[in-house]
């Protein structure tokens, strides 16, 4: 692990990152990421993980953050107050503030599962913390966050009173930071069986140590509830279903049939366990473990159609260089998905690729509709849940977008 200045009082003189002329706009706009290409020179010899000041090439102080000279994002900016020290107290205060905001959020009162920390949106770059009924899954994906691990865990223990904290690496992001993967129990004892969470009056099982991402897609909470209002008496095709949450909401709302499609047999077994928690319903649930694209094409060839089709794929674009490829994948997916919607039925389609913005996603769907020769009306727009807030100075934090469409 790289040396860090965050575990003691700030030194009187920090190394200084000097920006190229005209490259200060994003820093002045409080964007939390400073890319290496904006840097003119570094005054001093900071080690990766050290706190550094950022200034213009005219020596005007702008911000302070943590440097990682091996990464494309060279400085994770943390404060725009020159008198604010970045140390353990700083990290603990940020964690406390983030948790307190969730505790007073009225939209989270009916659930015991929530995102406590959402990275840059909460002033904590590279920190994700999800709470599942007192069992916290922590992801640290920046050098700044990894070096502050002890302070972050201590703060979570103080303000969230967890039973257990488990770290799970975000392998892809850690590669960009050139830091080692890390996982394991950080506090308390691991649960011996899946944890039961409550959401919208429904129960779900979460495999805290082994589930995908941090175990459950909390960002879709309000969207599941909103879509369920349309499901009474419906047939639903739930594609990329994971552990079946959209399908369970549909069944609880009176859907007659739900077909869950996912490539992971383990996820579908978890979906079946979640349906068992729901109890007796009149809804027929089916589970198909296969490639979603191939399955959709086979259903189209067979002439199948459903009242509601849900497309909730994984992230197709991880960076701007992948946008074109992702756009083609989204168009292909939605073109076939549209063909499977009965006339007058609904398509609920999502993208969690942050680099694909809402305007582009709608254009992709328009193109898919033209090729599918279907008339499509947007009925509702979806976004991420309130515990995944969007920071205005960091528009990339608005990553989840969705459209509920009437298909004619």
10-residue averages of pLDDT along the chain (408 residues): 46 88 97 98 97 97 97 97 97 98 96 97 97 96 95 98 91 79 89 94 90 81 97 98 96 98 95 92 95 97 98 93 96 98 98 95 98 98 98 96 98
Per-residue pLDDT at 195: 95
Per-residue pLDDT at 8: 44
Cβ distance 374 to 338 under 8 Å?
yes
Which residues 6+ apart lie within 8 Å of 165 measured at CB?
136, 138, 153, 156, 157, 185, 186, 187, 188
Nearest residue to 310 via CA among 284, 283, 334:
334
Per-residue pLDDT at 280: 80
Per-residue pLDDT at 65: 98
Residues 106-153 have pLDDT tens digits of: 999 999 999 999 999 999 999 999 999 999 999 999 999 999 999 999
Residues 230-244 have pLDDT tens digits of: 999 999 999 999 999
405 noted as active-site residue: no
R_g of the chain, CA atoms, integer Å: 23
Q: For residues 339 and 334, what is the distance between their CA atoms, to the nearest angstrom? A: 9
Torsions phi, psi for 317 (to 5 deg): -130, 125
Cβ distance 363 to 323 under 8 Å?
no
What angle (nearest 5°) sits at the alpha carbon of residue 102, between those of residues 96 and 108? Answer: 160
CATH-assigned architecture of domain 217-407 = 3-Layer(aba) Sandwich (3.40)
SS3 3: coil
Residue range 15-79 in CATH 2.30.130.10: yes
Torsions phi, psi for 20 (to 5 deg): -65, 155
Helix (H) / strand (E) containing 241 = none
Domain parsing of the chain, residue ranges:
15-79, 88-188, 217-407
Q: Which two tokens stand for residue 362?
A: 């709608």
Cβ distance 137 to 208 under 8 Å?
yes
End-to-end CA distance of the chain: give it in Å, rounded.
57
Class of domain 88-188: alpha beta
What angle (nearest 5°) sits at the alpha carbon of residue 245, between those of residues 161 and 217? Answer: 50
Per-residue pLDDT at 169: 78
Indicate which residue of 231, 283, 352, 405 is catalytic: 352
Residues of the chain by 3-state class (helix, strand, coil), percent to 5: 35, 30, 40
Q: For residues 5 and 386, what is the distance between their CA atoms, to the nearest angstrom? A: 33
Pairing of strands 127-132, 135-140: antiparallel
For the full predicted model, state whether its pTM sits above 0.75.
Answer: yes
Q: For residues 197 and 108, what is the distance between their CA atoms, to the nearest angstrom? A: 13
Per-residue pLDDT at 213: 63
Nearest residue to 348 via CA among 337, 361, 359:
337
For tokens 């949106």, name the residue: 121
Number of Cβ within 10 Å of residue 390's Cβ equals: 15
Per-residue pLDDT at 400: 97
């Amino acid at each position: 692990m790289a040396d860090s200045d965050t575990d003691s009082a700030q030194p009187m003189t920090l190394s200084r990152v000097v920006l190229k002329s005209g490259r200060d706009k994003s820093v002045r706009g409080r964007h939390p990421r400073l890319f290496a290409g904006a840097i003119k020179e570094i005054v001093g010899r900071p080690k990766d993980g050290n706190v550094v000041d950022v200034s213009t090439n005219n020596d005007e102080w702008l911000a302070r953050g943590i440097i990682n000279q091996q990464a494309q994002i060279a400085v994770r900016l943390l404060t725009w107050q020159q008198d604010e020290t970045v140390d353990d107290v700083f990290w603990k205060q940020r964690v406390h503030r983030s948790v307190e905001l969730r505790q007073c959020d009225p939209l989270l009162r009916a659930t015991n599962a929530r995102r406590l920390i959402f990275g840059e949106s909460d002033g904590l770059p590279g920190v994700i913390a999800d709470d599942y009924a007192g069992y916290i899954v922590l992801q640290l994906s920046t050098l700044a966050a990894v070096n502050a691990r002890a302070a972050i865990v201590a703060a979570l223990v103080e303000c969230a009173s967890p039973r257990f904290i488990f770290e799970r690496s975000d392998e892809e992001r850690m590669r960009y930071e050139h830091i080692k993967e890390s996982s394991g129990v950080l506090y308390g004892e691991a649960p011996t069986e899946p944890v039961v969470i409550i959401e919208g009056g429904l129960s779900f099982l979460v495999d805290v140590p082994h589930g995908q991402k941090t175990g459950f897609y909390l960002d879709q909470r309000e969207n599941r509830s909103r879509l369920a209002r349309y499901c009474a008496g419906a047939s639903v095709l739930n594609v990329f279903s994971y552990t079946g949450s959209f399908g369970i909401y549909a069944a609880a709302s009176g859907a007659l049939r739900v077909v869950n499609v996912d490539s992971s047999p383990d996820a579908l077994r978890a979906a079946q366990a979640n349906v068992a928690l729901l109890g007796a319903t009149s809804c027929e649930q089916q589970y198909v473990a296969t490639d979603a694209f191939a399955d959709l094409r086979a259903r189209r060839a067979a002439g199948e159609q459903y009242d509601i089709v849900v497309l909730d794929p994984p992230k197709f674009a991880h960076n701007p260089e992948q946008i074109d490829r992702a756009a083609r994948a989204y168009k292909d997916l939605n073109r076939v998905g549209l063909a499977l919607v009965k006339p007058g039925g609904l398509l609920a389609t999502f993208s969690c690729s942050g680099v694909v913005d809402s305007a582009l996603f709608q254009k992709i769907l328009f193109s898919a509709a033209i090729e599918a020769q279907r008339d499509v009306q947007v009925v509702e727009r979806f976004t991420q849940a309130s515990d995944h807030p969007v920071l205005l100075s960091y528009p990339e934090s608005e990553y989840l977008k969705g459209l509920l469409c009437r298909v004619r």
